[in-house]
Each structure stands twice: as C-alpha cells, then as structure tokens.
C-alpha cells in the first residue's frame, strides 16, 4: 500500500462512522459498534460514534499529509 494509503482507509472508516451514527444505521457492523458503545455511553452511543468518526478522519488526514 502506498504511504498515504492508510490515511485514505482511516478517513473512509471515519466517514462510515459519522454517516452511520447520523442516520442511526441498521447495518450489522455498525450495530456491533453501537452495542459495545452502549455499555459505556448508554443512550449517547451514537453521539460518541460520531465524535470517534471525526477523530479517526482527522488522524487519517494527518497520516495522509505525512504529519502523523
């Protein structure tokens, strides 16, 4: 994989989290993440996953730019 390739992958995963949390997706993989998050965050699991998605996207962007 090219040096910035992992940055693109991380940004895609972060975008998946943000979009899925915003629409409260019923996709099975997202539901697994929600089930794990609900043990810590309770009813705020979707908001937590939105925030986590944004942070993953930022980390991916930094990797893409060669900063991280």
Q: Convert the pLDDT of each residue in 7-65 to its tens digit.
A: 999 999 999 999 999 999 999 999 999 999 999 999 999 999 999 999 999 999 999 99
Contact 21, 50 (CB under 8 A): yes
Residue 31's contacts (CB-CB under 8 Å, 6 or more residues apart) are 25
Counting Cα atoms < 13 Å in the Cβ hemisphere of 28 gives 0
Read off the pTM: 0.86
Whether the pLDDT of residue 2 is over 90: the answer is no
Give the integer Cα–Cα distance in Å for 23 and 67: 32
Place 3 in a pLDDT band, splitting at 50, 70 and 90: low
Residue 58 confidence (pLDDT)? 96
What is the CB neighbour count within 10 angstroms for residue 67? 9
């Amino acid at each position: 994989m090219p040096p910035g390739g992992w940055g693109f992958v991380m940004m895609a995963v972060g975008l998946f989290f943000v979009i899925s949390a915003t629409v409260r997706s019923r996709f099975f993989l997202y539901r697994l993440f929600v089930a794990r998050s609900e043990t810590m965050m309770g009813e705020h699991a979707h908001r937590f996953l939105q925030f986590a998605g944004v942070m993953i996207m930022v980390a991916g962007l930094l990797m893409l730019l060669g900063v991280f």
